Structure 1
């Protein structure tokens, strides 16, 4: 039984897309993905870790999801894989209970952790938070992560040694597998190959190209979305609105509304990120986990020149907002989103005259 617990922003979407796309072929090769789809693995993770906001909306059939996956694993004669990054955030007692359940369904239980260097994770994590409705500017996000303010949940999903501790209780160390995401410039399918090695899986002949649309945003687009979030009253930020923004607004209207410009980890943050990463690498290296890849790849690359979302100008944001409004046209969108976008655009228009070209912040 292989339980892939994350971490977030470590290629999990890419891997899960491939595992589910090739589900039938993997089954023929001896690996079962139990359940009916990715959503059930998310629900299982929510049940295990006690994600009350989600669990409270589940019907009786959905509330039995985790037990159904365990039962399918018990009935299958080959290997089994369950994957969702929300398992990483489970408290110790919940992780221990889940491992006990799995131990009753399989001869061997293995935990798989994928991990990526913090220099790339931090920008990606902030963008993901913004897609989920966060209002926090990028610079403030980095500061709160650094200081661990406000019960910063970032570390609950990214403290790899702590996650390994929670999910290795009672397991032999060689059944805790750490697949390191290769550095930028490596072949994209290298992570696919590394996780296949962990699973003891022959993936010869299986297409490893990403097919899900890449809806990552450039710095101007991400900052525009953050400012839209600021104009949405918190009581009106519903799960349905978040799903619409992530599933429709971002890929169909926002992505590509400005020149694609990736944003960087500012050089002033490189020192503490490197220090934290070095400590994690040393801690992981002192343990006997099965590491696939090089732990040194968890160290951030040297700082590089570039801008951040905080550097987006009023002119750039106004041009992107105008493009988004034109794309929306007569399309039906939630009134809350339309109103917020109109407010942002009006504010940018007001500021664009004598302040054209100045920082949006």
Structure 2
């Protein structure tokens, strides 16, 4: 029986899809954008016979991959992880749809044994592996920023000095960077468990291209119509500017690793970083010119290796060669005034977020107090409340409009005259 007929038979018997696509990253190659678009349009994709698991009540892909690799959050447990790979596999193998898509960049970190288990989990389906790749110049600065978001304290210079030194590849931060970005080794791992003809390389378009280009390339491999994905994603992993990144790095230094991974993710990565990404900075940062030499050499080696291996390609390998970027800044040239401004913005935004969430939580208690007060309040009390609210509103109008300010001045003058007369009468009356 041929592989395709086995897949078809398996689908008829078990509901397994004919094809399972494993999008394994790489990190910092538009994976968050693609995943968020797919999450927002899960029903539209499903209507095209493609299962993208992870909706309400369904297994979470990220937890499943953590389970596959035995990962757990630093300093904290998470009961949602254990057993989640098998739950995800069961959901895919019983989906009854033509195809299934799992997109999780941590799959790029799989060992040979973990990759074998991942592929063998879908025995009735043909497994296709998708690798998205981006030029190392943009990846390097983006990866450093991501390290900072994830509780690291390396300066840009310490980071780049490490990743360009072959003798330091076994220690961080170089170790983590090349684990995630050595596309040749990553493809070797997966080529050992699927034929090279089923390992698809998609290049990320150059800076300035529409995100729709990457989505279109990805859709052409998986087999869905990108124009049908009309729902906007709720959130994207936006870039934080030069000053804001340095503020986060210094906050990490002050925290000194006291937060576990889930705490840090909640407060810094998922709260503070998106807030600071909303700030408008004149220019984004990019790879400094002095780093172009070594990183271009490494990129050329990567391009040559991918050409020799002949993987199915969507895009253009020339897009993986770094190019100088004009009008941008070094990652580490924030000035002290800029850092102060970003710090104050961060403090203000966090204060507003904390106050707003506290006030929302407080509302049920306030409502209960108000209900009890309403039962006992007399007419005079209610009248005093109305008068006070009217006075406060008048004061607010006076702060905004000259006419109201003039009226407020007259009211205050009358109040002063009344106070003076009352004091005079009090002094003249016999004690």
TM-score band (shorter)?
0.7 to 0.9
The answer as to whether partners of 1:176 and 1:289 remain within 8 angstroms in 2 is yes
Q: Secondary structure at the match of 1:235?
A: coil
The answer as to whether partners of 1:8 and 1:157 remain within 8 angstroms in 2 is yes
Separation of aligned partners in 2, 1:160 and 1:45: 19
Per mean C-alpha deviation after superposition, the further-off stretch among 10-19 and 260-269 is 260-269
Which one of 294, 297, 314 corresponds to residue 336 of structure 2?
A: 314
Separation of aligned partners in 2, 1:24 and 1:85: 22
Separation of aligned partners in 2, 1:269 and 1:208: 39
The answer as to whether partners of 2:31 and 2:105 remain within 8 angstroms in 1 is yes
- Normalized per residue, which structure has more helix? 2
1:20 and 2:34 matched: no
1:269 and 2:291 matched: yes
Separation of aligned partners in 1, 2:340 and 2:86: 50
Over 3 Å counting, the alpha-carbon distance change for 1:201 and 1:257 in structure 2 is closer
Per mean C-alpha deviation after superposition, the further-off stretch among 61-70 and 180-189 is 61-70
Q: Secondary structure at the match of 1:98?
A: helix
Question: Which residue pairs with 2:154 in the alignment?
Answer: 136
Question: Which residue pairs with 1:235 in the alignment?
Answer: 258
Which one of 15, 26, 32 corresponds to residue 7 of structure 1?
A: 26
Separation of aligned partners in 1, 2:232 and 2:139: 22
The answer as to whether partners of 1:71 and 1:105 remain within 8 angstroms in 2 is no
Q: CA deviation at 1:95?
A: 1.1
Q: CA deviation at 1:258?
A: 6.3
Question: Which residue pairs with 1:192 in the alignment?
Answer: 215
Over 3 Å counting, the alpha-carbon distance change for 1:227 and 1:105 in structure 2 is same
Separation of aligned partners in 1, 2:292 and 2:59: 36
The answer as to whether partners of 1:48 and 1:95 remain within 8 angstroms in 2 is no
1:30 and 2:32 matched: no
Q: Secondary structure at the match of 1:153?
A: helix
Question: Which residue pairs with 1:332 in the alignment?
Answer: 354
Query: Higher Cα Rg: structure 1 or 2?
Result: 2
Q: CA deviation at 1:238?
A: 4.5
Q: CA deviation at 1:139?
A: 1.0
Question: Which residue pairs with 2:107 in the alignment?
Answer: 87
1:189-215 Cα deviation digits (max 9, x unpaired): 011110111112233432276552564
Separation of aligned partners in 1, 2:231 and 2:212: 6
Separation of aligned partners in 1, 2:68 and 2:309: 26
Separation of aligned partners in 2, 1:238 and 1:7: 22
The within-5 A match list for 1:293-308 is 293-302=315-324, 304=326, 306-308=328-330
Q: CA deviation at 1:288?
A: 2.4
Q: CA deviation at 1:46?
A: 0.9
Question: Which residue pairs with 1:354 in the alignment?
Answer: none
TM-score by length of 2: 0.71
Q: CA deviation at 1:307?
A: 2.7
1:228-253 Cα deviation digits (max 9, x unpaired): 1111122345521332112222223x
Over 3 Å counting, the alpha-carbon distance change for 1:25 and 1:115 in structure 2 is same
The within-5 A match list for 1:9-88 is 9-36=28-55, 40-53=60-73, 57-59=77-79, 62-75=81-94, 76-88=96-108
Per mean C-alpha deviation after superposition, the further-off stretch among 131-140 and 309-318 is 309-318
The within-5 A match list for 1:151-300 is 151=172, 152-207=175-230, 211-213=234-236, 215-252=238-275, 254-257=276-279, 259-300=281-322
TM-score by length of 1: 0.84
Over 3 Å counting, the alpha-carbon distance change for 1:329 and 1:32 in structure 2 is closer
**Structure 1 moving runs of 4+ over 6 Å:** none
Q: Secondary structure at the match of 2:258?
A: helix
Separation of aligned partners in 2, 1:264 and 1:39: 37
1:118 and 2:136 matched: yes
Over 3 Å counting, the alpha-carbon distance change for 1:242 and 1:110 in structure 2 is same
The answer as to whether partners of 1:73 and 1:105 remain within 8 angstroms in 2 is no
The answer as to whether partners of 2:283 and 2:328 remain within 8 angstroms in 1 is no
